[in-house]
Amino acid sequence: MLAPATRGMRGIIERHAGPHSGKDSLAGQLIFRFLVGGLLVAAFSSLGDVFKPRGFAGLFGAAPSVALSTLTLTIATNGKSYAAIEAHSMIAGAVAFFIYAFCAVQILFRRKPSAVVVTSVLLTVWLAVAFSLWFVWLR
């Protein structure tokens, strides 16, 4: 039995998508993603305005709201177990990105090289960490 909130989300998707599969379903999912994503971006941006410096507003406005809207849509369409797999993948990607960003900051502040070169080269670190986490944790 689905929780009332899940039935409500599924109802929204079905109303917009209709009972058909294919293009209509995709249109409904996009509408749902737009609505939920927009609400979450607004909420997280408001939260970001509370913190200083103002750069946090962009940080709070982007990734968390996109991740939550994607997980909400996934729960409504594919169930909680599939959404759990996506959540684990998001966590692994965030860990890999943190390591990438940490290495980039260390190199850029200590050696003062070109930012384009450092970030481009460190993309291999990000990919290596992401695939390693996938191989060890998610496979």
Neighbours of 105 (CB within 10 A): 11
| Rounded Cα distance, 48 and 63, in Å | 12
The tens-digit pLDDT sequence of the chain (139 residues) is 444 444 544 554 454 444 444 445 778 777 877 787 777 777 776 776 776 666 666 666 667 777 887 888 889 888 999 999 999 999 999 999 999 999 999 999 998 899 999 999 999 999 999 999 999 988 8
Domain ranges of the chain: 1-78, 80-139
Q: What is the pLDDT of residue 70?
A: 83
Q: What is the pLDDT of residue 138?
A: 84
C-alpha Rg value of the chain to the nearest Å = 19
pTM of the entire structure? 0.63
Q: What is the pLDDT of residue 20?
A: 45
SS3 label, residue 91: helix
* Crossing angle between the packed helical segments 115-133 and 80-111, to the nearest 10 degrees: 150
